[in-house]
Amino acid sequence: MTAAATPELTLMEGAAAIGEAAILAGCRFFAGYPMSPFTPLLEHLAEALPAAGGTCINCESEIEGVNMALGAASTGARAATGSCGQGIALMQEAIAEAALNETPMVVFNLARNQQDYFQATRGGGWGDYRTITLAPKDVPEAIEHTQLLFHLSDLHRAPTMLYGDPLLAQTRVGVRLEKLDFGPLPPKDWELDGTRGGTGQSRQVWTWAMGKATDPGPGPDLHWQNIAAKFAAINEIEQRSESAHCEDADTVVVAFGSAALFVEHVVAELRAEGHRVGWFRPITLWPFPGPALEEATRSARRVLVYELNGGQMIDDVRQYAHDRSAIRFIGGVSIHESGLSYGPLLDAPVIRERILAALPEGDPR
Partner 1 sequence: MTTESTIERGPVVPTGTAPLGLTPVASTSPLLLGEHSLCPGCGEPVALRILLETLQELGIVQRTIGVVGHGCYGSFVRIMDIDVLQCLHGRAPSCATGIKRMRPDVATFTLQGDGDMVNEGLQEVLHTAARGENVTAILLNNGVFGDTGGQQTATTVVGQRTKTSLEGRDAAVHGHPIPVADLVASLDGVGYVGRGTVGTAGGVLRTKKMIRTAFESQLAGEGFSLVEILTMCPTGWFVTAPQGPDYMASSMEEVYPLGDLRPRTKGTT
Partner 2 sequence: MQNMASTPTDGRPDEFAVRLAGIGGQGIQLIGKTLALAATRAGRHAMLAADYGGEMRGGPSNASVVVGPPVAEAPRLRSLPVLPAFHAAIVANHRFTGVVPERLVPGAVLLLNSSVVDPAGAGEGYQVTAVPATRLAAELGVPQAGGFVLLGAFIALVPLVSEESLVEAMTSLLPAYRRQHAEGNARALRAGIETVAGVAA
The residues of the shown chain that bind partner 1, judged by CB under 8 A, are 33-36, 39, 42-43, 46-47, 50, 58, 60-61, 86
Which listed residue (330, 346, 355, 359) binds partner 2 by CB under 8 A?
346
In the complex, minimum distance from the CB of residue 46 to partner 1, in angstroms, rounded to a whole number: 4
Which listed residue (173, 177, 180, 192) binds partner 2 by CB under 8 A?
173
Q: State the amino acid at position 33 in one-letter form.
A: Y
Instruction: For the chain, give the number of residues.
Output: 365
Q: State the amino acid at position 337 in one-letter form.
A: E
Q: State the amino acid at position 73 in one-letter form.
A: A
Q: Which does 364 bind (CB under 5 to 8 A by kind): partner 2, partner 1, none?
A: none
List beta partners, residue 232. none
Angstrom distance (rounded) from CA 83 to CA 197: 36
List beta partners, residue 253. 279, 304
In the complex, minimum distance from the CB of residue 44 to partner 2, in angstroms, rounded to a whole number: 13
Cis amide prior to 166 (ω within 30 degrees): no
Angstrom distance (rounded) from CA 34 to CA 47: 15
**Binding residue count for partner 2, defined by CB under 8 A:** 33
Binding mask 15-54 toward partner 2 (x if CB under 8 A, else -) reads ---------------------x------------------
Phi-psi region of 339 (alpha: psi -120 to 50; beta: other; left: phi over 0): left
Q: Which does 4 bind (CB under 5 to 8 A by kind): partner 2, partner 1, none?
A: partner 2
Q: Which does 46 bind (CB under 5 to 8 A by kind): partner 2, partner 1, none?
A: partner 1
Lateral strand order in the sheet of 27-32:
55-58, 27-32, 78-83, 105-110, 159-164, 132-134, 284-286
In the complex, minimum distance from the CB of residue 342 to partner 2, in angstroms, rounded to a whole number: 8
Query: Interaction with partner 2 in 214-273: which residues (CB under 8 A)?
Result: 258, 261-262, 265, 269
Angstrom distance (rounded) from CA 268 to CA 244: 9
- Specify the residue, 53 or 349, whose C-beta has the smaller distance to partner 2: 349
Angstrom distance (rounded) from CA 132 to CA 239: 9
Q: Which does 319 bind (CB under 5 to 8 A by kind): partner 1, partner 2, none?
A: none
- Specify the residue, 176 or 324, whose C-beta has the smaller distance to partner 2: 176
Q: State the amino acid at position 315 in one-letter form.
A: D
In the complex, minimum distance from the CB of residue 270 to partner 2, in angstroms, rounded to a whole number: 11
Angstrom distance (rounded) from CA 169 to CA 133: 17
In the complex, minimum distance from the CB of residue 54 to partner 1, in angstroms, rounded to a whole number: 13
**Contact residues for partner 2, defined by CB under 8 A:** 1, 4-11, 36, 140, 167, 170-174, 258, 261-262, 265, 269, 336-341, 346-349, 352
